[in-house]
């Protein structure tokens, strides 16, 4: 089983993450930020992973530290759970629509952190949630999961729809990249012999 448990405690946040990449899409999510929980639930359901996230942060200041540190912790848990990447597909992509919005996400389990993020939200906040924090979440994730991630919102009028298509496409692309490739016979998906 490809599983991992991560605990991250700082002066700003206390976070625990439990992940099972071979799960069935079960989640227990409690970050103190309802919209973030809703987006993490997209990762659970569309990535078909089991995920538990518990976070306590300095929300009296704002949500920045909590959102970023959840991304960091999820990236650490993913890197540990995915292991040495032998026999995996390595690359994944997905296009996901939601009504008028559509996003494309492409991921490479490259061993190198990289984020290209092209999302022009139609408004700055979704309810109380600052959309600038979405980039911070994904930057934290890629820095610690050591993946290359390209996120493009291709169209959208409703900011909630834009954001939700990003998270759904991310989940499906990551799921595809993390799947075992039966034809690879356990080989490393790299000419370098390592990722």
pLDDT tens digit sequence for 38-87 = 999 999 999 999 999 999 999 999 999 999 999 999 999 999 999 999 99
**Residue 98, number of CB atoms within 10 A of its CB:** 18
Determine the Cα–Cα distance for residues 53 and 79; give it in Å rounded to an integer: 16
pLDDT level of residue 36 (50, 70, 90 thresholds): very high
DSSP characters over 11-26: SSEEEEEEEETTS-S-
Strand order in the sheet with 101-108: 91-98, 101-108, 148-155, 114-118
Q: What angle do CA 130, 132, 133 make, to 5 degrees?
A: 75
What is the pTM assigned to this prediction? 0.96
Determine the Cα–Cα distance for residues 125 and 136; give it in Å rounded to an integer: 15
Determine the Cα–Cα distance for residues 126 and 87; give it in Å rounded to an integer: 40
Element (H, E) at 39: helix 34-47
Going from N- to C-terminal start, the domains of the chain cover 3-184
pLDDT at position 107:
98
What does the mean pLDDT of the chain come to? 96
Which CATH number, 3.30.230.40, 3.40.50.300, 3.30.70.20, 3.30.365.10, labels domain 3-184? 3.30.230.40
């Amino acid at each position: 089983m490809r599983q991992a448990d991560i605990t991250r405690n700082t002066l700003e946040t206390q976070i625990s993450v439990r992940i099972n990449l071979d799960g069935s899409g079960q989640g227990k999510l409690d970050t103190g930020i309802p919209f973030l929980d809703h987006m993490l639930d997209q990762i659970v359901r569309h990535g078909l992973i089991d995920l538990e996230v518990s976070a306590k942060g300095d929300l009296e200041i704002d949500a920045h530290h909590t959102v970023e540190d959840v991304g960091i912790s999820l990236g650490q848990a993913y890197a540990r759970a995915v292991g040495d990447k032998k026999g995996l597909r390595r690359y994944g992509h997905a296009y996901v629509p939601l009504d008028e919005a559509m996003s494309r996400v492409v991921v490479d389990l490259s061993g190198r952190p990289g984020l290209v993020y092209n999302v022009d939200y139609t408004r700055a906040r979704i309810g109380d949630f600052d959309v600038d924090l979405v980039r911070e979440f994904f930057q934290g994730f890629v820095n610690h999961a050591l993946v290359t991630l390209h996120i493009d919102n291709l169209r959208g009028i409703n900011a909630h729809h834009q954001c939700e298509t990003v998270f759904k496409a991310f989940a499906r692309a990551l799921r595809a990249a993390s799947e075992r490739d039966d034809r690879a016979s356990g080989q490393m998906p790299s000419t370098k012999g390592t990722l």
